[in-house]
Amino acid sequence: MNKFNISLLLTLTIFLTSCDKSYKYIEKVSEESILGGTHIKEKDETIIKAKDDSTAYLEAFQKFCISVKVNRDMAQSMGKTYSTPISFKLLNNKGEDITKTTLFASRTKRENEIENEIFSMKNSIQDAVDNNKKEKAEKFKQTAKLDSVKIKKLKQFFRVRKDEFSPTRTTWYEPKSAPRYINRNGLYCYFQSENDIPSNLRFRMQYYSDDWLFFRKVQFLIGNKAYEYVPMNTETDNGDGGHIWEWFDESIRESDKELINALANAKSAKMKLIGRQYFDIRNITKEQMKDIKRTLELYQAMGGK
């Protein structure tokens, strides 16, 4: 190709590129707040370059479908998402929303084609999750220090529930003394294992009474030291002849470890449930404290950290 043809090609490319119009794609999502609940927000705009409104709209529609697909894949593979796509808008260079006004003969057909193409794609997030689990399982086998004697000794104090439908052989370990039903008072820790790897160490408290408390936090007095626990979320229900029950069930955070260890090694302890207007003080039984200690010991004996 001679210099003239190359120069002509470059000039033509620049000309064609410069003919593209600039559009702004803005996605609206529902996000979970760290304090609970959800709020609606618009994500940062993305620039789309296209020769006309129809082409820009189809690219915007494809972007939205990809966001929806990724969200669904995350929910399926990880069990939870924190940001859910709701809708999108496409602004032209005048700032006008042309999402609904851009009409062309093949719009519905092209939308269906894009949806079929995007939503029929393989869940790539699941592949990443599966690979991560395999790597984690291999690393666990190589590094975990299991205490089989202690495991056997402690298991007699636990209810072991296996999920027969779980591909990862999910198994839950709960103290036998923990209440089986929600309409009972209780304070305990429990955990799960997947592929024999212990995880998800949890802290649960159930309050059963004939009056609402709507507790927002729990203060503990363990020995002579005071602690405070603020649940991320508290559930409520009622029935059973006019009785009420309130509870929380949460993963143990790094900031909770001192409290949980104190409960596990306490000789005496009590808790004060702080409600909207009232409070209730209850003793923590020796059996409850002993079971928290057993749960931590079993979790560690099985290789949990």
Q: Which residue, 67, 27, 66, 64, is CA-closest to 43?
A: 27
d(CA 113, CA 166): 35
Give the pLDDT of residue 68: 95
Q: DSSP 3-state assignment of 161? A: strand
Give the pLDDT of residue 90: 97
What angle do the packed helices 257-264 and 286-301 form, to 10 degrees? 120
Q: Any idea which residue has 């043809």 for tokens?
A: 5
Instruction: Report the range out of 26-40, 118-132, 212-226 with the highest average pLDDT.
Output: 212-226
63-67, 139-143, 152-156, 288-292: least confident range: 139-143
Residue 105: pLDDT above 50? yes
159 close to 174: Cβ distance less than 8 angstroms = yes
Q: Give the contacts of 257 (CB within 8 A, at least 6 positions apart).
A: none
Higher pLDDT, 113 or 277: 113
Give the pLDDT of residue 151: 94
Question: Residue type at 46?
Answer: T
Residue 8: pLDDT above 60? no
Q: What percent of the chain has pLDDT over 90?
A: 67
Give the pLDDT of residue 43: 94
Q: Give the contacts of 142 (CB within 8 A, at least 6 positions apart).
A: none
Give the pLDDT of residue 36: 64
Give the pLDDT of residue 15: 45
Strand partners, 83: 31
Residue 35: pLDDT above 70? no
Residue 55: pLDDT above 60? yes
pLDDT in tens, 69-98: 999 998 888 777 888 999 999 999 999 999
Q: Residues 23-49: what's their mean pLDDT?
A: 88
Q: Any idea which residue has 């928290």 for tokens?
A: 292
- DSSP strand E in 176-232: where? 186-194, 197-209, 217-222, 225-229
Mean pLDDT of the chain: 89
- With cut-offs at 50, 70 and 90, classify the pLDDT of residue 37: confident
Give the pLDDT of residue 305: 82
**For the sheet containing 186-194, what is the strand order?**
158-162, 171-175, 186-194, 197-209, 243-251, 235-239
pTM to 2 decimal places: 0.62
Give the pLDDT of residue 34: 61
